[in-house]
Structure 1
């Protein structure tokens, strides 16, 4: 990947992060946003603040994404078979799903809540991750499915830990949605930016 291509991915992912958090905030917390902005100036300042927060989440997403690319390369060199690394990632995906349910339930559940209430978030995240991992595999090859699923589910979850441990529903949604969309953006652009240009026939 050339510097120009990396710069494109970096800048566009920042913009995607900023726009995503604005859209998400509008959809899930419009009344709360209006309550703290009584004038046009405050509304604009609030939007700029959220956009900056979204770009910060985007930077976290990019660090996590490129960290995975490094770990993936090292793991492929460490394991003799690609299947072993793929199965390892599947186990980690299942382990992450269990953690999202069990640890959040034990840490935050009230007497009226059941563990089923804590299955919804990881289940939705996993389902959407499966959809985009399938799209990635369709655009590249079937071997990309498990790594893509790992990035979208496990890496996104790890990146969203600051919001998950606070357990504020609004910030959990804002951070998770922004990180997920940024990871999807990077994932679907990576193979386009790293593809070798086709040679012109004589």
Structure 2
């Protein structure tokens, strides 16, 4: 899973870079050497973002287990995660607006990024729930929205739209990849040991 997640991160950044910066992407395709150098650089950047995603993913798995032991109830831990999801959504709007808004901008401009990330998180959390159990929905949503946001803080504080999109898309896709594959890997291990 480590190697495939690295490849997913690298290819996501390569594809996202071509989509959001087509003129720049065409500029490096003027020669084969420049194209290969640019592609290798973008793959390496994506793999770096993938490594951040993997660290966050496994950190969340540990925190999730600790929290389940601490709260002694899945429902309480789910409510805590819902509050943290709402708090993260608010922070993504409010703090970015306070830090980066120009006098003519409204806070509505800063609703776009968290809304898109939240909707995408809802979709894949629902897919995870359909593949496993209903109890997986809130943890999956938390991972895809809150943990992805935390992992993308280096890009979010720079407010460079290209880096925000590249880092967020790579981390989000890697988190989705890991989330949707984890239960398949652990189920196979259980079957082999039985």
TM category (shorter chain) comes to over 0.9
**Match in the other structure for 2:7:** 15
**Residue 130, structure 1, aligned to residue 122, structure 2:** yes
TM-score normalised by structure 1 residue count:
0.92
**Match in the other structure for 1:98:** 90
Q: Any idea what SS the aligned residue of 1:166 has?
A: coil
State the Cα distance separating 1:198 from its structure 2 match: 7.3
**Match in the other structure for 2:79:** 87
1:28-85 per-residue CA deviation (whole Å, 9 max, x = no partner) reads 1111233355422011100000000000000000000000000000000000211110
**Match in the other structure for 1:184:** 176
Give the counterpart of 2:51 among 59, 64, 70. Answer: 59
Q: Which runs of 4+ in 1 moved over 3 A?
A: 35-38
Number of residue pairs the alignment of both structures matches: 192
Name the one with the larger helix percent. 2
User: In structure 2, what is the Cα distance between the partners aligned to 1:72 and 1:187?
Assistant: 14
Q: Any idea what SS the aligned residue of 2:176 has?
A: helix
Q: Any idea what SS the aligned residue of 2:157 has?
A: helix
Give the counterpart of 2:69 among 77, 89, 100. Answer: 77
Alignment gaps of 5+ in structure 2: none
1:91-145 per-residue CA deviation (whole Å, 9 max, x = no partner) reads 0000000000000000000011100000000000000100000000000000000
User: In structure 2, what is the Cα distance between the partners aligned to 1:35 and 1:64?
Assistant: 34
Give the counterpart of 1:113 among 92, 105, 120. Answer: 105
TM-score normalised by structure 2 residue count:
0.96
Give the counterpart of 1:153 among 138, 145, 170. Answer: 145
User: In structure 1, what is the Cα distance between the partners aligned to 2:108 and 2:27?
Assistant: 32
Deviates more, 1:79-88 or 1:33-42: 33-42
User: In structure 2, what is the Cα distance between the partners aligned to 1:140 and 1:36?
Assistant: 44
RMSD, aligned CA: 1.3
User: In structure 1, what is the Cα distance between the partners aligned to 2:110 and 2:51?
Assistant: 28
Alignment gaps of 5+ in structure 1: 1-8
